[in-house]
Amino acid sequence: MSQDELTVEYLITRQFKTSEEFSTYIETESAKRKITNYEMIVEYCEERNVDPTAAASLITHRLKQLILIEAENLNLMKKKTPRLST
């Protein structure tokens, strides 16, 4: 399979078995690299020639909330997201 033929299904079955594994990978790598989760998703997709919007189905609710909070903290969105409870 060439880089141009990578699909979301391929990403799930070859590298990640679940969306939780993908989201955990994104969170871990973004923390290591000191970049936002959104930037990590874009970087991951660019490296694999995958449209970042295609990765949306792999993102867990928790990661979506973290991305919204990051966007709010960067003043890219108005603050209205309820905070995550631990």
- Please state, in angstroms and as integers, the Cα–Cα distance from residue 9 to each residue in 24, 58, 74, following that order: 17, 10, 32
Q: Which two tokens stand for residue 65?
A: 């909330």
Measured distance CA(13)–CA(10) in Å, rounded? 5
Identify whether 26 is part of a domain: yes
> pLDDT 10s per residue in the chain (86 long)?
555 555 666 656 578 888 899 999 999 999 999 999 999 999 998 888 888 888 888 899 999 999 999 988 888 777 775 666 65
Identify whether 85 is part of a domain: no
pLDDT score for 67: 93
Count up the domains in the chain and report the number: 1
Identify whether 64 is part of a domain: yes
Identify whether 14 is part of a domain: yes
pLDDT score for 50: 80
Is 37 within 8 Å of 30 (Cβ atoms)?
Answer: yes
Nearest C-alpha neighbor of 26 from the set 76, 16, 51: 16
Is 27 within 8 Å of 69 (Cβ atoms)?
Answer: no
Residue-number span of the structural domain to which 58 is assigned = 3-73
pLDDT score for 79: 72
pLDDT score for 51: 82
Identify whether 80 is part of a domain: no
Identify whether 67 is part of a domain: yes
